[in-house]
Structure 1
Amino acid sequence: MSFFRVAVTLLALTFLAGCGSKFQTYTGPEVTRVVLFKEHRTLQLFHKGQVLRSYNVGLGFAPEGHKEVEGDGRTPEGHYYVDRRNPNSAFHLSIGISYPNEMDRAKAYELGKSPGGDIFIHGRGKNVSASKAKGDWTWGCIAVKDREMEEIYAMVRDGTPITIYP
């Protein structure tokens, strides 16, 4: 093979290898707030009041109402923030939501139960079929398509406020 063919082949392989990564780079405006509208199944990323991106989501399998206790299948409602990220999530990628807050813990303990935790925005991963993922199927998390989760993971930083409306 000529040097030119080898160089072009290596360049093409490098490009294709980069396309396979789940980690994207984002250099646009800072995401200053994440907002979820449960009723509309819409997650929006904002920069100072301007919508940067909007996604359709799946919620907990019992989406009506605020999450009160572990295992109730509800997605929380209220004011939280992004508190962690998991690059090795079983659901492709995930970013954690600071549920439960003090009020959530107090309410659950009043009921004699655990408030639960581990609420994330995450992808589908390899174990969730496209047909299952069309509805509300999580245990209280917010689910998007894997490619969308890659974008969200790149755009949203730890500490970003998230408001979840009914």
Structure 2
Amino acid sequence: MKMIRAILMLTVLAALAACGGKSKFQSYDGPEVTRVLVFKDERKLFLMHDDEVLADYDIGLGFSPDGHKEIEGDGRTPEGHYLIDRRNPNSRFHLSIGISYPNEIDVARAEALGKEPGGDIFIHGRGPTYWEDAPDDWTFGCLAVTDDEIERIYAMVRDGTPISIYPSRAHMKAELRALRRQAKKAGSTTVVAPAVPVTGTTAVAPVAADTTVVTPATPMPAVPATQLPVTEAAAG
């Protein structure tokens, strides 16, 4: 009888300790994150408020990190312009926020190959199954940070926030130059810019003084410069 009581007491104490533990849900009342910017070659993710860098994080990519995701299971991380469109507080990777891959262009590209484009691309943490000797790029296509970092990102980034994923800064600058040429050909000084380049901790948009830069509220088509989406069906 004493043994049973002791076991019950230990169970109650364990439950109380769990309830009193640190919550993974943080609060945030700072400047709004207006865009998430990713450079794959640098393995860096930036949380931006207009042209200001609010935070930056080292990231892991899909196990086949080079190139744009084309089909389900290719292990690549998507490249292009998307939205943060959902979140999973019960993710097996601690916490996760979803990216709106695939878009219409991604679907059409995969269908042309007779394949499925995949999906379930998230920014997520590591979770309890992560092993310390894991490779730097260990996901099925998601963007991975630490558990502490995803707690901050989860609190800071709202659903509907645009996210631009580039192979490199050079690709972003080339895209902006192409947009400028298109605007000039159309006789306009307005350039629809998917993102702004980042230098150090301050973002600087490399545009002429007489050029108006408009950042769209909705995602632009995927960047065709290199191919790249990936799916993480197990994530979230």
For this structure pair, what is the TM-score category when the shorter chain's length is used for normalisation?
0.7 to 0.9
User: Which residue is equivalent to 2:60?
Assistant: 58
Q: State whether structure 2 residue 48 is matched by structure 1 residue 43.
A: no
1:6 corresponds to:
none
String of CA shifts for 1:36-62, please: whole Å, max 9, x gaps: 100000000000111000000000000
Partner of 2:97: 95
Residue correspondences, number: 150
CA distance in 2, matches of 1:137, 1:100: 21
Q: Report the Cα distance in structure 1 between the residues aligned to 2:43 and 2:72, rounded to whole angstroms.
A: 22
Larger-Rg structure? 2
Quote the offset at 1:129 in angstroms: 1.2
Distance 1:58 1:99 in 2: 18
Once structures 1 and 2 are overlaid, which stretch shifts more, 60-69 or 123-132? 123-132
Write the mapping of 1:15-164 to structure 2, written as runs, cut at 5 A.
17=20, 20-132=22-134, 134-164=135-165
SS at match of 1:150: helix
CA–CA separation in structure 2 for the residues paired with 1:20 and 1:66? 38
TM-superposed CA distance for 1:159, in Å, is 0.2
Residue segments in structure 1 that go unaligned for 5+ positions in a row: 1-12
RMSD over aligned Cα atoms = 1.3
Give the % identical residues. Answer: 68
For the residue of structure 2 that corresponds to 1:112, the secondary structure is coil
For 1:157 and 1:34, the matched residues in 2 are separated by 11
Deviation at 1:142, TM superposition (A): 0.2
